[in-house]
Amino acid sequence: MKLIVKVFPEITIKSRPVRKHFIRQLAKNIRTVLRDLDPQLQVSGVWDNLEVETAISEPKVLQEMIERLRCTPGLIHFLEVHEYPLGDFDDVLDKCKTHFAGQLPGKVFAVRCKRGGKHSFTSMDIERYVGSQLRQQCGAAGIDLKKPEVEVRMEIRDQRLFIVHRQHNGLGGYPLGSLEQTLVLMSGGFDSTVAAYQMMRRGLVAHFCFFNLGGRAHELGVMEVAHYLWQKFGRSQRVLFISVPFEEVLAEILGKVDNSQMGVILKRMMLRASTRMAERLQIDALVTGEAISQVSSQTLPNLSVIDSATDKLVLRPLIASHKQDIIDTAYAIGTAEFAKHMPEYCGVISVNPTTKAKPERIAYEESHFDMAILERALERATLLPIDKVIDELGKDVQVEEVDEALAGHVVIDIRHPDAVDDEPLELPGIEVQALPFYALNSKFKELDETRQYLLYCDKGVMSRLHAHHLLSEGHANVRVYRPT
């Protein structure tokens, strides 16, 4: 299979050195994203288009390649093509007949040609010739340039002819690694996951920073959705997942700060901590999922006071977004199911939260706060490469595993629904239920307590983690299914 990758239009208006830098980075990213599928993958081109060529012919692998490219920032679309040496008009006609003759009988069609290089003919010349001959020789109903039923597409580049079969849309944006790095404050809900996606889509590398306010289930949930975002949109880059234990910080706020000011001060403490992490990692900006007046801490006066806690640039890609638009985007990118089932955490709930925080009042309230507690939280923070986070979590988790499901057991397939659809788990005589990992913690309590449940996933890591959590929650009827 050969693909022609078209870069994001904003790249093509850059200066020559910048444009070359972006194209080289995109080529590098494509190799990184696809190399586990085809170690011999060829990526070439340095200016306006990239050509991706693979000898792999297995349909499932090819489809996975296409899906990964569709989620790779920096390309606007890519074409599936067949390549030939450029011959005369009759030779071009023969190639078009080879690929389109079976689609044309009784249909109206159009011929589209893009051309680059020096030739004795124009794109319109070849469109007219090929179009008239196809109409006469292939039983087509006619030609309609505005609303054709079939498009005969080709590209001519110097002495090469490309017959185009399909076009796949990409994300646009700039290639990851060609711009700066950011640190995204992640709660795992709708807003923070969409904000992270928007940064990645624009080409900014996104590291993830989570402030744990009192729950292992919440931390695990955020790790999972951060890993999902990275794997789907950012796997060309190595990024970190940072978890900062904030329970003591929260307790100090609850005990020392006036109720109405708690929300603003909590956000300021998070910005202080994330600023320290960003400085340590030489990261240029912080990212949050805040939108104007979505909650009390997100009014303009409050955001101004919150931002004064840091000298770092704070980016808010969703600042003017409507909540429903954010939710719709979360569904489109696949994070909504995570967000819907994200475990609740013990947050700061003010009875009468201020919407117009005053700098002097905030300074007075913070004067009672023991900053040593914030320092301890930073010292206890964990930093893990995002591609290793799930495996690292599962290293020291010990739960009972079985290699055979028996009559009466219920096997719960906790894989992502896409994986379940691609490779359904079939166990004759055994009840199998699909309950994805992001819904497991909230839905398990609804299951029959008298049944024995075996959790299943591909590698056994996620199933061990979730079984461990359910056992710690008091559910004794959980084990892990690991078939030999």
Sign of CA dihedral 42, 22, 318, 242: positive
- Closest CA relative to residue 86, chosen from 160, 153, 157: 160
Q: Is 124 exposed, middle or buried (0-12, 13-18, 19+ CB in 10 A)?
A: exposed
User: Backbone phi, then psi, for 435, in 5-degree steps?
Assistant: -140, 95
Distance CA(328)–CA(227), nearest Å, equals 21
**If you ran DSSP here, which 8-state letter would residue 110 be given?**
E
Tell how strand 160-169 and strand 181-186 pair up. Answer: unpaired
Per the CB < 8 A criterion, the answer to whether 115 and 38 are in contact is no
First to last CA, the chain: 36
Name the strand (E) or helix (H) holding 241.
strand 240-245
Is 298 assigned a ligand-binding role in the annotation?
A: yes
Residue 176 C-beta-side C-alpha neighbours within 13 Å: 29
C-alpha angle 263/269/271, rounded to 5°?
Answer: 105
Task: Go through 389-416 and write b for each residue having 16 or more CB atoms within 10 A of its CB, e for each that does not.
Answer: bbeebbeeeebeeeeebeeebbbbbbbb
65 strand-pairing partners: none
Is 142 assigned a ligand-binding role in the annotation?
A: no
Per the CB < 8 A criterion, the answer to whether 78 and 177 are in contact is no
Helix (H, G, I), strand (E, B) or coil at 461: helix
Q: Is 457 among the catalytic positions? A: yes
- Closest CA relative to residue 130, chosen from 116, 149, 111, 148: 111
Distance CA(209)–CA(319), nearest Å, equals 19
Per the CB < 8 A criterion, the answer to whether 160 and 145 are in contact is no
Per the CB < 8 A criterion, the answer to whether 471 and 432 are in contact is no
Distance CA(186)–CA(175), nearest Å, equals 22
Is 471 assigned a ligand-binding role in the annotation?
A: no
Q: What share of the chain is helix, strand, coil (3-state, %, to 5)?
A: 45, 20, 35
Is 186 assigned a ligand-binding role in the annotation?
A: yes
Is 334 assigned a ligand-binding role in the annotation?
A: no
- Closest CA relative to residue 152, chosen from 117, 103, 85: 103
Sign of CA dihedral 90, 91, 95, 98: positive
For residue 318, the one-letter residue type is L
Q: Which residues are annotated as a binding site?
A: 185-186, 267, 289, 298
Q: Write out the binding residues for ATP.
A: 185-186, 267, 289, 298
Q: So which residues are the catalytic ones?
A: 457
